Amino acid sequence: MDYLANALVAALGLISSFDADLYQIVYTSVYISVVACFFAALISVPVGVTVALNSFPGKRALQHLLNTLMAMPTVVIGLLLYGMFSRMGPLGDWGLLYTPTAIIIAQCLLIMPIMINLTSTAVHTADPRLLPTLLTMGARGFSLTWQVVRVTRVAILIGIITGFGRAIGEVGAAMMLGGNIEGFTRTMTTAIALETSKGEFELALALGLLLLILAFMLNFLMSALQGKAR
């Protein structure tokens, strides 16, 4: 019990003293996840709205596929991308392996199914009069998509935040593709795994506490947005 208490005190000391190594890891993790979330949202929101608004052959199969991909283990994505980005892989000449870009691509692929599904759900659960009203007003194509996004923006934003939370807590693909390089690709989750294995429990605990604080802030933000939507 004393060990845990002493480690907690040391961890709080690292946080309160703004330890440079600690916050470098936090910055790297947040930066990678924000960029991944941004690009994933650029693709996922229009796709999610399009899937929700249109009927086409294979739509049900696509929805089942998206549901399956939402539960895909991150190490599987990491394994597939490692094969693509390794020196012997088809994209090996791009030099992406063990870079932040590789982790960003992995996180994009990880959270896109989540964002597409939640965006589609947001459109489906919107006011049933929304689509007929927009069509009556002459909205078509991009204009229709934009108006739907504007009306359902709070629910869509919750989906984006959910994707960000999934991305920042990812560890498997980040470890495999980033290599956990200090000051370059070391994220909060990979650092926690490394420091714990090294016996540096205080630093790992400090990172864990900051990750919990970040998760609490995201949940608080989503609750506030849901309250605003009501």
3-state secondary structure of 94: helix
pTM for the structure as a whole: 0.90
Q: Contact at 8 Å (CB) between 118 and 165?
A: no
Whole-number pLDDT of residue 136: 75
Whole-number pLDDT of residue 138: 67
Chain centre distance of CA 62:
21
Q: Contact at 8 Å (CB) between 175 and 167?
A: no
Tokens of 217: 């802030």
SS (H, E, C) 179-190: CCCCCCCCCHHH
User: DSSP label at 169?
Assistant: T
Domain count along the chain: 1
Range of the domain at 109: 2-229
Indicate the range of 85-89, 183-187, 219-223 predicted with least confidence: 219-223
- Can you tell me the distance from the alpha carbon of 44 to that of 176, in angstroms, rounded to the nearest whole number? 25
- Can you tell me the distance from the alpha carbon of 22 to that of 151, in angstroms, rounded to the nearest whole number? 40
Which of 54, 79, 21 lies closest to 200 in space, CA to CA?
Answer: 21
- Can you tell me the distance from the alpha carbon of 140 to that of 149, in angstroms, rounded to the nearest whole number? 13
Query: Any idea how long the chain is?
Result: 230
The whole-number average pLDDT for the span 117-146 is 77
| CA dihedral of residues 52, 57, 60, 61 (deg, nearest 10) | -130
Q: Contact at 8 Å (CB) between 145 and 18?
A: no
pLDDT above 90 for 53 = no
- Can you tell me the distance from the alpha carbon of 138 to that of 104, in angstroms, rounded to the nearest whole number? 39
Q: Average pLDDT, whole number, for the chain?
A: 88
Q: Residue 58: left (phi > 0), alpha (psi -120 to 50), or beta?
A: left
pLDDT above 90 for 190 = yes
pLDDT: is 38 or 58 the higher one? 38
* CATH for 22: 1.10.3720.10
pLDDT: is 141 or 200 the higher one? 200
Q: Which residues lie below 8 Å from residue 211, measured CB to CB, with a gap of 6+? A: 168, 169, 188, 189, 192
- Can you tell me the distance from the alpha carbon of 49 to that of 158, in angstroms, rounded to the nearest whole number? 15
- Can you tell me the distance from the alpha carbon of 179 to that of 177, in angstroms, rounded to the nearest whole number? 6
Whole-number pLDDT of residue 108: 96
The whole-number average pLDDT for the span 33-42 is 96
